[in-house]
Structure 1
Amino acid sequence: MIAPKRIDLPTLLPLAAAALVVLAALPGVTQGAAPLYGLLGLFGLLVLLCLLAIRRALRQALAAVEALCAGARPVHSTCLSRLPEVQRLVGHVAGMAGALHSAETENRRLQQTLLQAQEQERNRLGRTLHDDLGQYVAGIRAQAGLFALLADDPQAVRGASQRLDQHCQALQQGFHALVRDLYPVMLDELSLEQAVRQLAAQRSAAGIDCRVGFDARLPEPGRERKLQLHRLLQEALTNVVRHAGARNVRLRVRRRGADLCLSLRDDGHGRPAAGQGVGLRSMSERARGLGGELHYRGRPGRGWTLYLRVPLEEASA
């Protein structure tokens, strides 16, 4: 047996109003005061019922919105008014609440990622100071102490002096490398193309064949924008060295319309590695900060592909 279809008040009221209009148009119905008063009474009753129905629908919608704002589970659609406008209103509010929750979750995740990145950077600086710079300082002290013992042996003094000079040179190189990582002063003097080629040359010196294609039509970005692009590319190439196991890298920077497009491909294993996710998230955040987007894909046995697209000029506030 088929259950009768339920007709709620918002559906019934327009039908009743239409019936009232048809009834009023019939000849003889409105003749005399009594029928007219009756029609007016029915009309007033219909208006009252309409107002009550609207009030009920608004209260249901308000209750659903308050529940969403309080963090409760969304009210099921069957508990709401059947008015499509109310359904859409609650649906939009639920969508905004879901988007806000997702944004808050993403912010918490990014905060954790930032803390992890800061801790990793502190550990890296600590290892550099202890293992490299600290070692050279200890060697310098040891060689300096020999001068008092070898004062009567000019040949030994010359040897100790040479070793002392070597330690000082290594210490200076390590210090410059550390400062360059923390603050690339050379960006003030280099163009973006020169900075990109210098990064590629540093990776080539480490045993990775890194080749660059640079579009001469690209305008020179501002210093802050150039710094962020430099950091992003530096992170990408560092990921290649640490995680990809690649021997060849192809880097291309070109202009496409009003955007700068950067693509990087390597011939590594193409599999995600432990610790790689922090670097990728950091690059994605830098890309968003520049008003652009970053896409990457790893294919096992065929390497990683990274694609960056950012506006050439910073958007106006």
Structure 2
Amino acid sequence: MPLFWRIFLLNAVVFVTATALLLGPVTVSTPVLVTEAVILAVGLAAMLIANALLLRIGLAPLQRLARAMTTADLLRPGTRPAAGGHGEVAELITTFNTMLDRLEAERATSTARVLTAQESERHRIAQELHDEVGQTLTAVLLDLKHVADRAPEPVREQLHQVQETTRAGLDEIRRIARRLRPGVLEELGLTSALKSLAGEFSGPSLSVRHRIAPDLPPLSENAELVLYRVAQESLTNTARHAGAGHVTLTLERTPDAVELRVRDDGRGLGGSPEGAGIQGMRERALLIGADLALGPARDSGDGDTGGSVPARGTEVRLTVPLDPPAAATHSPAAATHHRSQ
């Protein structure tokens, strides 16, 4: 029975009963006697309690639905509210769950298209940097060497300094191109790509250790790309914002998944909101049905930190299931990435 009719009929029963009692054995005197006032108060209290219980029971599913609405996040798919209640209440909850399913599917599809376009654009920019700017600077270096070999001594020293500056710019362009388009990932695989990535971020102020298990199962190209990009974004955030001195990058196999962990000893997340980089990592994780978790670094006691990372800082954990959903495995991003190679 719909909620409206249940409330209406309960009120009707209470009012009809009260009216019948007033017309029959129960009368009200003037002035009102104490016993009559007590009977009326008890009747009123019974009516209010009955209405409160019915509203509490009938509206409880709506309260759960309201909480689900306020906490719903398309980047963090969670459990759906149970379709409790009766009539239009259950229908409303079922409709809301269907709407969430549709929104998550549409978000995943649009995100796949956006990330596919982003990877294609990165590939194009990296190619142009390598073929156009890189070749131009290489030609400039050769011309400078040719001129420096024939220049007098005072000018030759200055030309050598210009050569070093140009060579440093060329190295920086090549480094940017490698980050935009992980050629080592396509050519040598995920393990070599992550080791190379850890080496790129290691320097005087930041030590990046890596522990990559040798028994990793075969992964799809899209899953390897997501793992690489999440590791890259995590190391970038650590180098720019964490103020960390040590980072540990771990990739290992669990019974039913492959898990990537990037743990640092920096200042931690604090109460800062998630930026575009973290949102991008969550969107990439959704494409392959993976779970992304960020929080304070925990000292797991498994020895993967080598004693260099204490139990503080930030940990990024990406768990990629070995049997991902079919929709994620055959996402547009995977197909387009495969065609781009």
- If the length of structure 2 is used for normalisation, what is the TM-score? 0.51
Paired residue type of 1:305? E
Corresponding residue for 1:170? Answer: 168
Q: CA deviation at 1:88?
A: 2.9
Alignment of 1:15-54 (within 5 A): none
Q: How many residues align?
A: 216
- Secondary structure of residue in 1 paired with 2:172: helix
Q: Could you say which residue in structure 1 is the equivalent of 2:315?
A: 305
Higher relative contact order (CA 8 A, sep 6+): 2
Unaligned runs of 5+ in 1: 8-84
Out of 283, 286, 295, the residue aligned to residue 285 of structure 1 is 283
Query: What is residue 184 of structure 1 aligned with on the other side?
Result: 182
| Residue identity in the other structure for 1:192 | L
Unaligned runs of 5+ in 2: 1-10, 16-82, 298-310, 328-341
- SS of 2:319's partner is strand
Q: Is the 8 A contact 2:227 2:260 kept in 1?
A: no
Paired residue for 1:268?
Answer: 266
Superposition deviation, residue 176 in structure 1: 0.7
Cα distance in 1 between the residues matched to 2:191 and 2:174:
22
Query: Which amino acid is the alignment partner of residue 196 of structure 1?
Result: L
- Quick one: distance in 2 between partners of 1:290 and 1:182? 21
Structure 1 CA distance, aligned partners of 2:271 and 2:245?
17
Deviation at 1:173, TM superposition (A): 0.7
Q: Distance in 2 between matches of 1:151 and 1:192?
A: 44
Matches within 5 A, 1:131-280: 154-205=152-203, 207-272=205-270, 276-280=274-278
On the 8 A contact 1:151/1:157 being kept in 2, the answer is no
Q: How far has the Cα of 1:168 moved from its partner?
A: 3.2
The alpha-carbon distance between structure 1 residues 274 and 159, as it changes in their structure 2 partners (threshold 3 A), is: farther
Q: How far apart are the structure 2 equivalents of 1:151 and 1:219?
A: 55
Give percent identity, aligned residues only. Answer: 29
Structure 1 letter corresponding to 2:295? R
User: In 2 relative to 1, CA 86–6 (structure 1 residues): closer, same or farther, beyond 3 Å?
Assistant: farther
Q: CA deviation at 1:4?
A: 7.8
| 1:176-200 alpha-carbon deviations (Å, 9 max, x no partner) | 1121121111112223222222222
Go from structure 1 to structure 2 and tell me whether the alpha carbon gap of 1:94 and 1:294 turns closer, same or farther (over 3 Å shift). Answer: same
Which deviates the most, 161-170 or 240-249? Answer: 161-170
With over 3 angstroms needed to count, the CA separation of the structure-2 counterparts of 1:154 and 1:224, relative to structure 1, is same
CA drift of 1:230 comes to 0.4
CA-atom RMSD in angstroms: 4.3
Q: Deviations over 1:112-132 (max 9, x none)?
A: xx89xx8xx99xx9xxx9xxx
CA separation in 2, counterparts of 1:315 and 1:101? 20
Please identify the structure whose Cα radius of gyration is greater: 1
Q: 1: distance between equivalents of 2:232 and 2:287? A: 16
**CA distance in structure 2 between the aligned counterparts of 1:166 and 1:303, rounded to whole angstroms:** 38
Deviation at 1:254, TM superposition (A): 1.1
Q: TM-score, normalised by structure 1?
A: 0.54
Change in Cα spacing, 1:164 to 1:273, as seen in structure 2 (3 Å) is farther
Deviation at 1:206, TM superposition (A): 5.4
